[in-house]
A and B are shown apart, each in its own frame.
Chain A
Amino acid sequence: MVSKIPIRKKIAFELFRKYRKNAKILHQLNYIFWECTLRCNLNCLHCGSDCKKESSVKDMPVEDFIKAIDDIIDIVEPNKTMIVFTGGEPLLRKDLEHCGLLLHKRGFPWGIVSNGLQLNPKRLQSLLNAGMRAITVSLDGLENSHNWLRNNSSSFKNAIETIHLLSKVPDLKFDVVTCVNGKNFNELSEIKELLLLKGVKEWRLFTIFPIGRAMQHDELQLSPVKFKRFFDFIASERKKGDILLNYGCEGFLGNYEGEVRDNLFFCRAGINVASVLIDGSISACPNLRENFVQGNIYTDSFKETWEKRYTKYRDRNWLKTGECADCDMFRYCDGNGLHLRDEKSGELLFCHYNRIKEGEKACFENN
């Protein structure tokens, strides 16, 4: 049962609660997103759940981003601060290597999140030569379901080629991310076999939430029963140990904590994670926009913004409303991932813990 927490885990939750409290006071910045472009070579069905894409928005000049990085350099340890280029599709920018080298000169590791469509051996070598340390590529199912979600008939073929290419690079931190939905749910075991065949060692799974464009497609959501079974799948596959499998960072999972990912749930947005968005907005994860924005690199100091603002990220008592108000788990989940809150009202749009409980209840009733 997701709500029955064994004593050992309860002790861990209590200890981790203290850890989280200290981390909020320390708020050591060590993970920075740069939304370097909103241009994209795909038109995915689930996109828009995370950002409001406008292709007319110009890419931010590298120099503007580097200036912001130079502003915060004395409050971070560069070699312990990961910088991630995201988008849009970052590989559409031809000057990523230029930016990467400038970051490298300052001691920062950097990585990209890509759909893999634009990656070929030459570009990969160029990125590696510029100091790229990590890359995440999306694979959202077997051929039909991946191409359906990505809205592109050759996307699967390209993603597989990219995965094959990346798995041969010995020192690159490389993982594959899959957004699990109603269409690919029954393919998870086959996807895993495919990834193993291609030499993939790390696989991260996410679920899609009814936010933005994803709201228009019911088939993207997992029913409560499937949602529960999804976590059973991860827990069981992790025990086999043939691939490093983790659920993403996104929600508190009750008794599944400690079973489906390496770390306990902790939304580090604004505590360790910041972002510079396409228009210069300073936020946390790139999908935290509107009221979550804390400043702008064109008008504010990044360093001062990080040190003096972000109050709503570091004191989350304001989230204890609605279904969180009387929930026993609030002390451990802190109101779930901030990206699951309405950008204007702050209302919780999705609770993992309650959804799993619904699934358990439905399973019980069906038996």
Chain B
Amino acid sequence: MKRKFLEKHNKFIAYLLSIIGIGGACTFGGCEYGTAAEYGTPSATYKVFGKVTSENNTNIRSIRVILQNDTAHTDENGEYNVQTTDFPGEQDFLLEIEDIDGTSNGEFQSLDTIVSFTDPEFVNPDGNWYSGETSKEMDIKLKEKN
């Protein structure tokens, strides 16, 4: 509580200083023999999309797909979209596919697979440290549980 108050107080002081013409007073330009501070990290968005079908090519709905911190469920057409943010460059991500709705829609075996982004091309960068987004289609076939 006290911490929040002090943080807000300091923001207010920085605002007052900017009004009297010393706008950068509270900035931290780096330290002696250090680099200028540059916060944030380079990043890019990696999108994975596709269709989950059974071995006889039937679309499967309600299949859970996990890519790092993003979770999606396939729609009526078995389609899914997930995305994650990571360092721009070649990346391998684990894609976790699991049937979690029991027998209502047929029962399928879980599948863990790797999505590889090799030499990815990024679009819509912000001109700064965000390299943009790249996407990859990944269709999945699930085996029925015996």
- For B41, give its contact among A133, A202, A272 (CB under 8 Å): A133
As a 0/1 sequence over residues 31 to 72 of chain B, the CB contacts with chain A under 8 angstroms (1 = contact) are 111111111111000000000000000000000000000000
A111 touches B (CB below 8 Å)? yes
| B residues less than 8 Å from A33 (CB atoms) | 31, 34
Q: Are A26 and B21 in contact (CB under 8 A)?
A: no
Count A-side interface residues using an 8 Å CB cutoff: 61
A8 touches B (CB below 8 Å)? yes
Q: Are A19 and B32 in contact (CB under 8 A)?
A: no
Q: Are B36 and A134 in contact (CB under 8 A)?
A: yes
- Output the nearest chain B residue to A133 by Cβ-Cβ distance: B38
A278 touches B (CB below 8 Å)? no
- For B28, give its contact among A18, A250, A268 (CB under 8 Å): A268
A287 and B38 in contact, given A19-B10, A129-B89 (Cβ under 8 angstroms): no
Q: Are B41 and A109 in contact (CB under 8 A)?
A: yes
Within 8 A of A (CB), among B1-47: 3, 6-7, 9-10, 13-14, 16-17, 20-22, 24-42
- For B33, give its contact among A12, A50, A171, A262 (CB under 8 Å): A50
The B interface, classified by DSSP as helix, strand, loop or mixed, is: loop
Q: Are B26 and A113 in contact (CB under 8 A)?
A: no
Q: How far is the CA of A172 from the CA of B8 in the complex (A)?
A: 31
Q: Are A12 and B22 in contact (CB under 8 A)?
A: yes
Q: How far is the CA of A15 from the CA of B29 in the complex (A)?
A: 19
> Min CB distance, B42 to chain A, in Å?
6
Q: How far is the CA of A31 from the CA of B37 in the complex (A)?
A: 8
Q: How far is the CA of A171 from the CA of B22 in the complex (A)?
A: 27
Q: How far is the CA of A86 from the CA of B33 in the complex (A)?
A: 8
Q: Are A26 and B29 in contact (CB under 8 A)?
A: no
- For A206, give its contact among B27, B32, B42 (CB under 8 Å): B32
A268 and B31 in contact, given A12-B22, A109-B41, A263-B24 (Cβ under 8 angstroms): yes
Q: Are B16 and A84 in contact (CB under 8 A)?
A: no
Q: Are B25 and A263 in contact (CB under 8 A)?
A: yes
> Min CB distance, A364 to chain B, in Å?
28
A339 and B24 in contact, given A31-B37, A107-B41, A109-B38 (Cβ under 8 angstroms): no
| B residues less than 8 Å from A268 (CB atoms) | 28, 31
Q: Are A337 and B29 in contact (CB under 8 A)?
A: no
- Output the nearest chain A residue to B90 by Cβ-Cβ distance: A129
| A residues less than 8 Å from B32 (CB atoms) | 206, 248-250, 285, 287, 337, 339
Q: How far is the CA of A143 from the CA of B38 in the complex (A)?
A: 30
As a 0/1 sequence over residues 114 to 137 of chain B, the CB contacts with chain A under 8 angstroms (1 = contact) are 000000000000011100000000
A84 and B34 in contact, given A171-B129, A262-B27 (Cβ under 8 angstroms): yes
As a 0/1 sequence over residues 118 to 141 of chain A, the CB contacts with chain B under 8 angstroms (1 = contact) are 000000000001010111100000
Count B-side interface residues using an 8 Å CB cutoff: 36
Q: Are A112 and B17 in contact (CB under 8 A)?
A: no
As a 0/1 sequence over residues 284 to 304 of chain A, the CB contacts with chain B under 8 angstroms (1 = contact) are 011100000000000000000
> Min CB distance, A5 to chain B, in Å?
12
Q: Are A12 and B35 in contact (CB under 8 A)?
A: no
> Min CB distance, B9 to chain A, in Å?
6
- Output the nearest chain B residue to A202 by Cβ-Cβ distance: B36
| B residues less than 8 Å from A269 (CB atoms) | 31
Q: Are A285 and B31 in contact (CB under 8 A)?
A: yes
- For B42, give its contact among A82, A113, A131, A175 (CB under 8 Å): A131
B87 touches A (CB below 8 Å)? yes
- Output the nearest chain B residue to A108 by Cβ-Cβ distance: B41
Q: Are A84 and B35 in contact (CB under 8 A)?
A: yes
A111 and B128 in contact, given A11-B20, A16-B25, A19-B26 (Cβ under 8 angstroms): no
Q: Are A175 and B33 in contact (CB under 8 A)?
A: no
| A residues less than 8 Å from B27 (CB atoms) | 262-263
A249 and B35 in contact, given A16-B13, A22-B9, A26-B7 (Cβ under 8 angstroms): no
Q: Are B25 and A82 in contact (CB under 8 A)?
A: no
Q: Which of B10, B13, B25 has the most CB of A within 10 A?
A: B25
A336 touches B (CB below 8 Å)? no
| B residues less than 8 Å from A84 (CB atoms) | 31, 34-35
8 extra A-B contacts, CB within 8 A, seeds A19-B17, A131-B87, A263-B28: A22-B13, A31-B34, A84-B35, A109-B40, A129-B89, A131-B41, A171-B127, A263-B25
Closest 8 CB pairs of A and B: A173-B38, A262-B24, A111-B35, A134-B35, A134-B38, A136-B35, A264-B25, A19-B13
Q: Which B residues fall within an 8 A CB radius of A?
A: 3, 6-7, 9-10, 13-14, 16-17, 20-22, 24-42, 87, 89, 127-129
